[in-house]
Structures are given as structure tokens and as C-alpha cells.
Amino acid sequence: MRKSKPLIGIPADRRLLGAHYFHCVGEKYIAAVADGARAIPVLIPALGEGLDLEELLERFDGLMLTGSPSNVAPHHYGGPASDPGTLHDPDRDATTLPLIPRAIAAGMPVLAICRGFQEMNVAFGGTLWQKLQEVDGFRDHREDKEQPVDVQYAPVHSVRLTEDGLFRKLAGHETLAVNSLHSQGVQTLGARLAVEATAPDGVIEAFRALDAPAFAVGVQWHPEWKMQANDFSRALFGAFGDAARARAARQIP
């Protein structure tokens, strides 16, 4: 039976809320998939090895990896130990890091945002700076958490889009104004990832998987925030949704 809309899997965070653990995905990501990609968002619990990855690849038409307050644990990329108090999510790491390369190799469209962008880099063998603001030559890419959320998510710097890249084609011009809410960033780029956008200080802000059979990109900023009000964000989620619909159509018997 023909699907009316593709199914997009969104791996969840595992968080302790009060006395109990919950598997959570921010509403802004769910809404962007539903409205921007015109797809059905489905949360994937962070069960790590308890998930059957092959079944996930069969059932879903796309995968989106979200931002999160937690950081990828540095032992996954050979980085130094995090500062005490740094929030980690080992269950999400155990879910996403093996899933990302398998999904991309299987031709599943992938859109990775912020933490998801960092996960995708690590999944392909890349490394991360944990504190860009303490590395000579880089600006402070963090938001001011004392400001209202609309100010935190407002555009604060430009990115230059790679000539002849996918993002340049989607945008139709050379630069974008983007928000910036991260302290971690790409240190070494993962294998067979191609830069799609860079910040003025040289920080990698977007990439694509070169060998992917389908749409597979990551962005460091947050295109899901007020997606409908941003031309490029609409184009990005639209392209992701179109790729998911194409995969769904190929899988219909």
C-alpha cells in the first residue's frame, strides 16, 4: 500500500527528569520534519545495542539527528577527558554512532544538526574541539543563555558556501546568515566528508557525505528554528523530504 508520507526516524536523548529517565526529542525538530520535510516524524529510543539497526533501515525513509545539551563523549574520537560536569549521553552515542554510517551506506537520506553534525563527523572518524572559544583563532560560537530564546537563536555570523556544493545550489548565493549555539566544533574532518560551508574564522559549519547514494548532510547551526521564516531552511528541509519520498517510492512493492 502506498505511503501518504515518508517516515523520518529521529534518535532521542536519554535524560534524567526528576527521578526517572525519559527518551526526548525537542518539539522544534519534530515540527520541522512534519512541516518542512512534509514527513511523519517517529522518535527512535536511545537503546543502543537493544535496537535492531537493520530493521530500522528497512522501516524508515530518512534519519534526522538533532541538537542536544549533551556532548559526544570524547573517548569516541580520542579526545581529552571532558571538564567535570559536562553533560554526556552514552545511550544516544551507542545508538547514533553505529547507525549513521550504516544508514548512509544503505541510501537513507540523512540530515544532521548541531550535536548530530558532530556525531556524523565522529562516526566517520573525525575529531572535535570541545571548546572552540579557547582555541586561538576561533571566535566564541556559544549563545548567551541569559538572553531571551529568540535572541539566542538569531543570526549572528555568516557562512560561506562552497562553490559548486549542494548548499550553494539550494541557496542560490554564496553566503548565509546563521545562528550559533555550540562550543564544540570539527577539529579534523571525517573520512569522505566534503565541506559545504565555513564560518569567517574557518570553523566548518556544514558538510556532505561524498559517497552517499542519497542526500546526506550535516549543519552546525540550527535550521529547524523558525524554519518556515527562513528561505534556506525551507529549501534544506524540502530537499531532505524529497529524498525521503524518493526512497519511500522505491521501497513500495
- For the chain, give the number of residues: 253
Marked catalytic residue, from 143, 196, 205, 224: 224
pLDDT score, position 237: 98
Residue 17 is assigned to a structural domain of this protein:
yes
The sign of the dihedral angle between the CA atoms of 162, 68, 74, 209 is: negative
The reply to whether 137 falls in a domain is no
**Percent of the chain residues past pLDDT 70, beyond the cut:** 98
Range of the domain at 107: 7-131+184-251
Q: Give the model confidence (pLDDT) of 148-176 as tens digits.
A: 999 999 999 999 999 999 999 999 999 99
User: What's the chain's average pLDDT?
Assistant: 97
Active site residue 24: no
Active-site annotation holder among 114, 119, 182, 205: 114
pLDDT average, residue stretch 38-53: 97
Q: What is the pTM of this model?
A: 0.97
Give CA–CA dist 83/208, Å, rounded: 30
Residue 253 has pLDDT above 70, yes or no: no
pLDDT per residue as tens digits for the range 106-127: 999 999 999 999 999 999 999 9
H-state helical runs in the chain: 27-35, 53-59, 90-105, 115-123, 149-152, 166-171, 231-251
What's the structural domain count of the chain? 1
Looking at residue 165, its pLDDT comes to 98
Residue 2 in any domain: the answer is no
Active-site residue (options: 141, 182, 205, 222):
222
Which tens digits make up the pLDDT trace of 220-245?
999 999 999 999 999 999 999 999 99
108 in a structural domain = yes
On whether residue 59 sits in a domain, the answer given is: yes
How confident is the model at residue 250, as a pLDDT?
Answer: 86
Residue 154 covered by a domain:
no
Task: Look at residue 243 and tell me if it is in a domain.
Answer: yes
pLDDT tens, position by position, 9-37: 999 999 999 999 999 999 999 999 999 99
- In a domain, residue 203? The reply is yes
Q: What pLDDT does 4 receive?
A: 80
What is the distance in angstroms between the CA of the first residue and the CA of the last residue of the chain?
8
**Banded pLDDT at 69 (limits 50, 70, 90):** very high
Q: What's 214's domain CATH number?
A: 3.40.50.880
